[in-house]
Amino acid sequence: MTQPVPTPHYPRRSTRQIHVGKVAVGGDAPISVQSMTITKTADVEGTLQQIYALAAAGCDIVRCTCNEIEAAEGLAQIVPRSPIPIIADIHHQYKMALAALEAGVHGLRLNPGNIRKPDHIKAVASEARDRGVPIRIGVNGGSLDPSLYEKHGGLTADAMVESAQMEMRYFEEVGFDLIKISVKASNVPLMVEAYRKLSAVTDHPLHLGVTEAGPLPGGLLKATAGIATLLLEGIGDTIRYSLTADPVEEARAGRQLLESLGLRERKNVDLIACPSCGRAEIDVIDVAKRAQDAFADKQLPLQIAVMGCVVNGPGEAREADLGIAAGNKRGHLFVKGRNVAVVPESEMVDALVDWANYIHEHGVDAALQRVDTTIAEREAARDRSALLDEQGADANRSSEKIVEIRKTVDG
């Protein structure tokens, strides 16, 4: 009998809720995924194209730089046509923040490390208050105010938290509290410590990220290490992977992390695959990659398995909604661990797509009724036993190798 998969529950730290356009952030709102465009914001069509691609990949909120007047003008045209809320990223020039608000953006991101004049900060906060537009205080370890750097003897978690608190005080002075905060650093332990300290002193929603995480795959690992650690402690209301890659990768990664932690409902295929071993009957890496490509743009909330052999595959992936395992040049399709069909090896990926669409439309029970499973079960049993006869239980020839090793050492 299969055991039910436990539903994860990580007690979430309670935060106030704000709205970035139509997206709620904080409180009991789902944790949202953010990314940032890498086009020139003045290039309206190019930027919108990227925003649509990001939204399709699971991005909830997108940030665009607003570094010049042309960018602000671009935002005025992008905002009404964007499928998701737009946040303007502001560095150094507070007037660009005012211009972005005029353009109708749904949020601002200010870096306290490079907009330091209290009057400028308050002017932006007052305007945002009047328009009901939230602001993220985006402290960045790499651009910390030099006075804080000096006071704390370098870049520390306390220095980053103090930077955020200073900015918050300016906002409070003008009665503005639609605030979201981030204290990003490229050093994972530092970033984790800074967010922990920040979450202990404020109930404003927090935006998580490991800044300048870098190219794949190292960047993904660093960002995941920092973001997942905090999410599992209940800290974080919105996240961004800062990768040196196509921003669509950032959105996909963010979405997949939340889905894999059970913090967002599954929207896309969760592709699982065995790591392959001496028993594999196919090039598992190649078939899994082709399956990944085939499902990349499909919104099918299913877990789908690619397994290298029919000996262990269907059993090991019995919790998957659908899977395929190779054996004797054939692909054995299984639904919830039960064999349903046999296809030629060359048609494995196409068969997966066909059955995935069927399950999505009609459900698992209907898929099991779709065909006479006894034929598929008999064929799978036959191929399984043929493989066991041919390879034995020790497909990696470990016992044989051990005998050889002993001979080498003893001889």
Binding residues for ligand SF4 (CB under 6 A): 274-277, 279-280, 307-309, 311-313, 316
Which one, 69 or 277, has the nearer CB to ligand SF4?
Answer: 277
**Cβ proximity of 2 and 27 under 8 Å:** no
Nearest residue to ligand SF4, by Cβ distance, number only: 308
One DSSP character per residue, 214-257 reads: BSTTHHHHHHHHHHHHHHHTT--SEEE--BSS-HHHHHHHHHHH
CA distances from 314 to 245, 269, 388 (A): 35, 18, 15
Which one, 115 or 305, has the nearer CB to ligand SF4?
Answer: 305
Minimum distance of ligand SF4 from residue 313's CB (angstroms): 4
Which one, 263 or 282, has the nearer CB to ligand SF4?
Answer: 282
Which one, 179 or 340, has the nearer CB to ligand SF4?
Answer: 340
Which one, 72 or 348, has the nearer CB to ligand SF4?
Answer: 348
Minimum distance of ligand SF4 from residue 320's CB (angstroms): 12
Minimum distance of ligand SF4 from residue 296's CB (angstroms): 23
Which one, 277 or 375, has the nearer CB to ligand SF4?
Answer: 277
One DSSP character per residue, 117-167 reads: -HHHHHHHHHHHHHHT--EEEEEEGGG--HHHHHHTTSS-HHHHHHHHHHH
CB atoms within 10 A of CB 216: 15
- Which pair of tokens denotes residue 274? 């065995």
The Cα angle at residue 156 between residues 124 and 171, in degrees rounded to 5 = 20
Which one, 254 or 314, has the nearer CB to ligand SF4?
Answer: 314
- How far apart, in whole angstroms, are the C-alpha atoms of residue 333 and residue 314? 8
- Which pair of tokens denotes residue 307? 């397994």
Minimum distance of ligand SF4 from residue 158's CB (angstroms): 48
Which one, 307 or 367, has the nearer CB to ligand SF4?
Answer: 307
- How far apart, in whole angstroms, are the C-alpha atoms of residue 219 and residue 183? 18
Minimum distance of ligand SF4 from residue 279's CB (angstroms): 4
Minimum distance of ligand SF4 from residue 400's CB (angstroms): 17
Cα 135 off chain centre by: 23
**Cβ proximity of 113 and 162 under 8 Å:** no
Q: Which amino acid is at 263?
A: L
Which one, 44 or 395, has the nearer CB to ligand SF4?
Answer: 395
DSSP 8-state secondary structure symbol assigned to residue 277: -
Beta bridge partners of 327: 330
Q: Are strands 330-335 and 338-344 parallel, antiparallel or unpaired?
A: antiparallel
- Which pair of tokens denotes residue 291? 């399956």
Greatest CA separation found in the chain?
86
Cα 409 off chain centre by: 50
Which one, 372 or 394, has the nearer CB to ligand SF4?
Answer: 394
Minimum distance of ligand SF4 from residue 323's CB (angstroms): 10
Minimum distance of ligand SF4 from residue 53's CB (angstroms): 34
Q: Are strands 23-25 and 18-20 parallel, antiparallel or unpaired?
A: antiparallel
DSSP 8-state secondary structure symbol assigned to residue 279: T
Which one, 170 or 334, has the nearer CB to ligand SF4?
Answer: 334
Minimum distance of ligand SF4 from residue 324's CB (angstroms): 11
Minimum distance of ligand SF4 from residue 177's CB (angstroms): 54
- How far apart, in whole angstroms, are the C-alpha atoms of residue 61 and residue 54? 9
Minimum distance of ligand SF4 from residue 5's CB (angstroms): 20
CA distances from 310 to 377, 402, 410 (A): 11, 26, 38
